[in-house]
Amino acid sequence: VRQAAASNAPLRGGKGELWEGGIRVPFIVSWKGRVGARTVAQPVMSMDATVTALDFAGAKTGAGLDGVTLRPLLTTDSNQPPHDAMFWRVGKKNAVRAGGWKIIRDGAAWQLYDLDHDSGETTDVAAREPDRVRAMNAMWDRWNAEQREPLWK
């Protein structure tokens, strides 16, 4: 049994895992006079921070950088998700989040979670939603085909 010094309840998992308890963390930005105080519920990735900083600096980001600018979320009332989907690949662990849905696998079959109603990932609904699992698996396959092989195992 794994023991941790902290709890991520009600989220499942912890550091190094692809469950929400291992990947969902607050993202806080402070920039007096440029970014006002607001709470945004849309998920973002750490890789967005570099692209956002380059955008605010007026630099061209060009191709090859992962992430998107968060400027609209930080400077307007936009609540548009910056990502259609987010992908993770850690060894044999994989995950895709698209909207309020997430598929995850740890070397076995995909599991599906409805994060809008089950943020703790307690109920696998893959058997009830096979078409959604297939569609998200296809998203994964397209994304993964564009990635380089990991440099570490």
| Residues 106-138: tens digit of each pLDDT | 888 999 999 999 999 999 999 999 999 999 999
Please name which of 26, 28, 4 lies closest in space to residue 15, comparing C-alpha atoms. 4
The pair of three-digit structure tokens given for residue 135, joined into one six-digit string:
């569609």
Please name which of 152, 33, 147 lies closest in space to residue 96, comparing C-alpha atoms. 147
Are β-strands 111-114 and 86-90 bridged in parallel, bridged antiparallel, or unpaired?
unpaired
Please name which of 149, 147, 125 lies closest in space to residue 136, comparing C-alpha atoms. 125
| Residues 47-90: tens digit of each pLDDT | 999 999 999 999 987 677 889 999 999 998 888 999 999 999 98
Kindly tell me if the per-residue pLDDT of 144 is higher than 80. yes
Kindly tell me if the per-residue pLDDT of 1 is higher than 60. no
Run of H or E residues at 90: strand 86-90
- Taking the whole predicted model, whether its pTM rises above 0.85 is answered as yes
